[in-house]
Structure 1
Amino acid sequence: MTGTLDDAYADHLRLWAAGSASPRLVDALVRGGEPAEAELLRAYLDSGDQWVTTSRTSGVWQGRACWVGTRPPVEARGGDLWFDVVEVASTVLILRPEAELAAFSAEEWQTLTACVGWLSTRPVRRWQFLGFASVTGLDPGRTIGSSAYAMGVRGAWADRYAGYFGKSLPGWDSWWGASCSLSDEIINTMWPADIPEIGFRVAEDAMALLGRARALLTDQDPDGPFPLGERFAVTDRYWLPGMRFRTELSAQLGLLPADRGETGNAPVLARP
């Protein structure tokens, strides 16, 4: 069953690169135990870009305003959802903490927004990474975890996956904002266990590893000597057993360019 969902997702990505969508993926999501994603993708295939209210299939996110579309909405409030129909992932708009906004200089207000960005509500699923690997010709060379999530990938691969969709990997600022604006129930659903996640690129060949306890502190000091939420950095070519990752779309940068190195992110070009 997992293989069927892997294949359906790979077909979905190939079709997006060609400028169309895949109805087959909806049925595969239902069979694969992903009812929320199936419901939201079906809504898009039926009626295109639109605002909907999430149903009980979305769990703790039930009853929220959710934009279903290929790109984030032009206008949204902190806590609103965007279901990215290309990556097939729900994201939440994260507000910057009041303490950070209060410390903004006039120059920072010219370049930064009151929101950090659209943070994925869950780590990347195993079927998503394997479908991506199939489309891009990436050979993991080993089993990518045995859970529902893609675990144990190399940092460079996680970064490449995010770039394929015009996104990046999140950093401490996203989780600081999330911990200050979202309920404990939601935070515990988004990041339920103290399992480090692969974060943003800190150097040309190194990725940050984010520890839950540190990343979710609400009294962060953005001027401190240690990058907030960053447990340590590791060379991006290393295997990272047991570690998960998720994507984020910056509110400042928007979708990253489609010519991002070796990413070959055709789905960015194909977003209407």
Structure 2
Amino acid sequence: MAANMQVKLDKYWESGAINYLLFVAIYLDPRYKLEYIEFCLNRLYGADKSKDMLNKLNDLINKLFEHYKVMYPISYESNGSTTLSSNNASQSRAENGEDDDDWDNLFRMNVKKKQRDVQRTELERYLEDGLEDTSPTFNILTWWKGKTDKYHVLSRIARDILSIPVSTVSSESAFSTGGRVLDSFRSSLYPYTVEALICTQNWIKSPKVVDLESELVEVEKLESEFNGLVTIDVGVIAAEFDTITTTTRV
């Protein structure tokens, strides 16, 4: 059994068959990031193989980042060409000293330019920041919600990736149970009848909680009763044997 389990485990965790979204989820965990993934892959697969896997992961993350950057641009990028041309004209007038009121527009344009530069290096800034401390009360979704302004694009990726269920076993099991209860001969059952059937099936299959201490007491009690019966039977046989012997002598 253990050998069969190992074969399935190796097949699932083979480097070419791993779902890399699992790695993306760890990458987006501020307690681990890319350093933890690199550490684990080096120990599991060696330096050469882990390097190829890390390159593949980085390509996937860069593609996700570029895709989400288009989907969720910063608000100043959606003002349109008219606003940009107006800002350019304001910048020109402000540089020539024609209107002091346009200095505010020039200042805001410089800020926006810096924000555009920062957005291009958002991945690098995230990796350069220190790791968060592990804590039982740490809520990763709350952490990313608070970092929306700092990591405009990454926070959107984290919101979508980290909300994906790790497994679909529960939903598949529910559909399988429904198929076993509602077959072609039971398709017209009332809802409360179906509910009763499913609940009864669940109660029957539910594991029984075994109290080892009470069970051992019960076993010792049975053993003592059995030993008493054996002793009584031996005494009765001995008495009967004595009676038979006395009768024979007479």
TM-score > 0.5, shorter chain as reference: no
TM range (shorter): under 0.3
The structure with the larger Rg is: 2
State the TM-score, normalizing by the size of structure 1.
0.21
More strand by share: 1
State the TM-score, normalizing by the size of structure 2.
0.22
More helix by share: 2
